[in-house]
Amino acid sequence: MPQFQAPPGTFDVLPPASARYEALVGRFARAAHAAGYGLVVSPLFEDVGVFRRVGESTDVVRKEMYDFDDKGGRRLALRPEGTASVVRAFVQHRPPTPFKAFYVAPHFRYERPQAGRYRQHHQVGVEALGPADPDLDVEVVALAAGLLGDLGLTRVRLRLTSLGDAACRPAYRRALHDHLAARRDELCDEHRDRIADNPLRVLDCKREPCRKATADAPRMLDALCAACAAHFDRVQAGLRALGVAFHVDPSLVRGLDYYTRTTFELEAEALESAQSGAGGGGRYDGLVEALGGPPTPGIGFGLGIERILLACDAEGVFPAPAGLLDAFVVDTTGGEAARDLTAELRRAGLRADRAWEDRSFKAQMKAALRSGARLAVVVEPEGVSVRTLQEKGEAEVVERAQVADAVRRRLG
């Protein structure tokens, strides 16, 4: 075993497997662009306070954060989630609204590593700041669900709820708190002492005692104020209009504290339930203010790239794109022709590679096959020919000056 390995809970993604990563990110970026979102790149680490604002009562912040002092004595944290970073950047730069951003970024959580749960994972996500319009919720939810559908996933469940707002949630929270306080002794060890922190968290507990104690608990959906109820109705009508299937689930609670109103999760049913959350998101209408900005509503989502790819494996969809190369140059005349031809093919917009170190014809043909290229351009003392690699076909003798044209023609 080599002396150094990727740290626990992290992994390397090498070619050819990384081609799926690239393809997924490419599809996401195209969909985000098509909906008017632009790329935001923000630091991998922030002042720890940025993330504290997203949830003092959450595991993500309390237990799992990679925080540390830098050499200047600043308390920093590696980004555990993307929304707070984008909101911090928004507050700092105050771009015009609507501000529609997307990101592709690593995220860090000190979790117990297992399949689908890592210490460094990667998310594609969007954040839209400015409009409180429920139709924006529809756009964001449809974008997330649409990406998973576009990859070919069919066993994805979209769970949707509303968590209310500053007008109706406090009273609901009190009612839930009272309900749970009356059943304190029945709750699991972890939640018995945490009801006051955030009673909503208990609704998300998977342990039997908490499930029992919350079975007849008051539900946020029954306690929405008129404005939140109208907002939620409009979101549901919009999703129906766009043909996005969803399931209203009043028990949905997400692992971060900032959510208000529309909140959703995309669950990959092909994965084990503990890691089936392929992505999620929702509104966070108070977060910009919490980070020192003017009152500005916001909504977004984050999708976990690794979980999506695991779900694709489980459903047998979205295989690695085949054949990243158009042509592979095999040269038995010393290598100059390979050097010049690959450059020529690439200038012509083709994807080309070659064999190195003047190996035998057989060794070079083996390398050509392994490369996954569709065609071989074979340079021998007698001349140049173009041959199909992955399936049987005639070798076609071509003029040296016509190689790029011949390759293009053969690719169809």
Task: Summarize as ranges the residues that interact with ligand HAM (CB under 6 A).
Answer: 81-83, 109, 111, 116-118, 121, 123, 125, 127, 255-256, 277-282, 300-302, 304, 306-307
**Cα(217)–Cα(211) distance, rounded to whole angstroms?**
10
Find out whether 324 and 348 touch, Cβ atoms under 8 Å. no
Q: Which is nearer to ligand HAM, 122 or 183 (CB)?
A: 122
Q: Which is nearer to ligand HAM, 252 or 345 (CB)?
A: 252
* Beta-bridge partner residues of 348: none
Find out whether 99 and 129 touch, Cβ atoms under 8 Å. yes
Residues constituting the chain:
412
DSSP string, 7-47: PTT-----TTTHHHHHHHHHHHHHHHHHTT-EE----SEEE
CA dihedral 324, 326, 330, 336 (to 10 degrees): -100
Q: Which is nearer to ligand HAM, 256 or 288 (CB)?
A: 256
> Residue number with the shortest CB distance to ligand HAM?
304
Give residues with Cβ within 8 angstroms of 297, minimum separation 6. 129, 130, 131, 132, 283, 285, 288
Q: CB 364 → ligand HAM: shortest distance, Å?
A: 41
Q: Which is nearer to ligand HAM, 280 or 372 (CB)?
A: 280
The beta-strand segments (E) located in 229-335 are: 247-248, 260-268, 277-283, 298-304, 327-331
Which residue, 148, 142, 326, is CA-closest to 242? 142
Q: CB 133 → ligand HAM: shortest distance, Å?
A: 16
Token reading at 104: 């592709």
Give CB contacts under 8 A, 24+ apart, made by 185-189.
186/212, 186/213, 187/213
Q: CB 172 → ligand HAM: shortest distance, Å?
A: 21
Burial class of 395 by CB neighbour count within 10 A (0 to 12, 13 to 18, 19+): exposed
Q: CB 131 → ligand HAM: shortest distance, Å?
A: 15
Q: CB 254 → ligand HAM: shortest distance, Å?
A: 6
Q: Which is nearer to ligand HAM, 51 or 328 (CB)?
A: 51
Q: Which is nearer to ligand HAM, 133 or 396 (CB)?
A: 133
Q: Which is nearer to ligand HAM, 164 or 372 (CB)?
A: 164
Q: CB 370 → ligand HAM: shortest distance, Å?
A: 32
Q: Which is nearer to ligand HAM, 164 or 304 (CB)?
A: 304
Q: CB 269 → ligand HAM: shortest distance, Å?
A: 14
Q: CB 262 → ligand HAM: shortest distance, Å?
A: 10
Find out whether 113 and 8 touch, Cβ atoms under 8 Å. yes
